[in-house]
Amino acid sequence: DIQMTQSPSSLSASVGDRITITCRASQGISNYLAWYQQKPGKVPNLLISAASTLQSGVPSRFSGSGSGTDFTLTISSLQPEDVATYYCQKYNGAPYTFGQGTKLEIK
């Protein structure tokens, strides 16, 4: 099975900072990569699909890139409401494995 590895596992940054989270697949998955945001005590929310397609209603400060094995989620200017755990997920076929998550906090 393809493994999904996120880094870092946790991140502390200041409001207004640009932050990047990386997700690496152990084999190529083309662009079948989604990013989710899960705020504390809440249900996961789909942010980005097809590696770079922003879902409706998601602020434009979020962006995704990558293809094959290496992907990134970028927040251009961190806001207090972005405190959450972020997960990547492959969906090019079963199993639809998630990364282990990146917990983002505000300094």
Partner 1 sequence: QVQLVQSGAEVKKPGASVKVSCKASGYSFTDYYMHWVRQAPGQGLEWMGWINPNSGGTKYAQKFQGRVTMTRDTSISTAYMEVSRLRSDDTALYFCAREKPGDGLDVWGQGTTVTVSS
| Residues in contact with partner 1 by the rule CB under 8 A | 1, 34, 36, 38, 43-46, 49-50, 53, 55, 85, 87, 89, 91, 94-101
Strand 84-90 with 102-106, pairing:
antiparallel
Shortest CB 16 distance to partner 1, Å:
28
Shortest CB 61 distance to partner 1, Å:
20
For partner 1, which is the closer residue by CB, 26 or 77?
Answer: 26
Q: For residue 42, what are its two tokens?
A: 């809440």
| Sheet order of strands, 70-75 included | 4-7, 19-25, 70-75, 62-67
